[in-house]
Structure 1
Amino acid sequence: MATKFKIKKGDTVKIISGDDKGKTGEVLAVLPTKGKVIVKDCKIAKKTVKPSEENKDGGFVNKEMPIDISNVAKVEGE
């Protein structure tokens, strides 16, 4: 039951509620089944990474987390 959204990948949006309220950023991905979007440089979480072939040391990586689509508004005039 995926709903149709007016926000697409590549659009510029403004965050209207939450910790990052007032920030603007580009939409990196839309998750229609969950009703969420991932916005560049917003809602950053520090994730632990286990050592692997491409990342020998492991450690921490900063990653954008999904934001509910009702908490973002499309910026007009592009």
Structure 2
Amino acid sequence: MSNKVKIKRGDNVTIIAGDDKGKTGEVVAVFPKDNKLIVKDCKVVKKAIKPTEENKKGGFIAKEMPIHISNVKKS
């Protein structure tokens, strides 16, 4: 069964469910196999990262997490 996704990268969408309800943003990435997408500046979480060679300090970064397609609509 194929998953037909009508929302593409670059589309503007409005979030209709969840903590970020009412926010609008641009679609950054689409994952059709999982029926999820990432919206710019929505569902942002803080993720802890360990110190590495490139990042000597470590610390926290803000990262956007995927949202299910059923929770957004094209605007």
Which interval holds the TM-score relative to the shorter structure?
Answer: over 0.9
2:18 matches 1:4: no
2:47 matches 1:47: yes
| Residue of structure 2 equivalent to 1:71 | 71
Q: Deviations over 1:52-75 (max 9, x none)?
A: 122110000000000000000011
Matches of 1:33 and 1:2 in 2, distance apart?
Answer: 8
Taking only aligned residues, the RMSD between alpha carbons, in angstroms, comes to 0.9
User: Where in structure 1 are there 5+ consecutive unaligned residues?
Assistant: none
Pairwise CA distance, 1:26: 0.5
Q: Which amino acid aligns with 2:58?
A: G
| Residue of structure 2 equivalent to 1:33 | 33
Moved over 4 A (4+): none
Query: TM-score, normalised to structure 1's length?
Result: 0.91
Report the CA distance shift for 1:15/1:73 in structure 2 as closer, same or farther (over 3 A).
same
Pairwise CA distance, 1:49: 0.7
User: Where in structure 2 are there 5+ consecutive unaligned residues?
Assistant: none
More displaced 10-residue stretch of structure 1: 11-20 or 46-55: 46-55
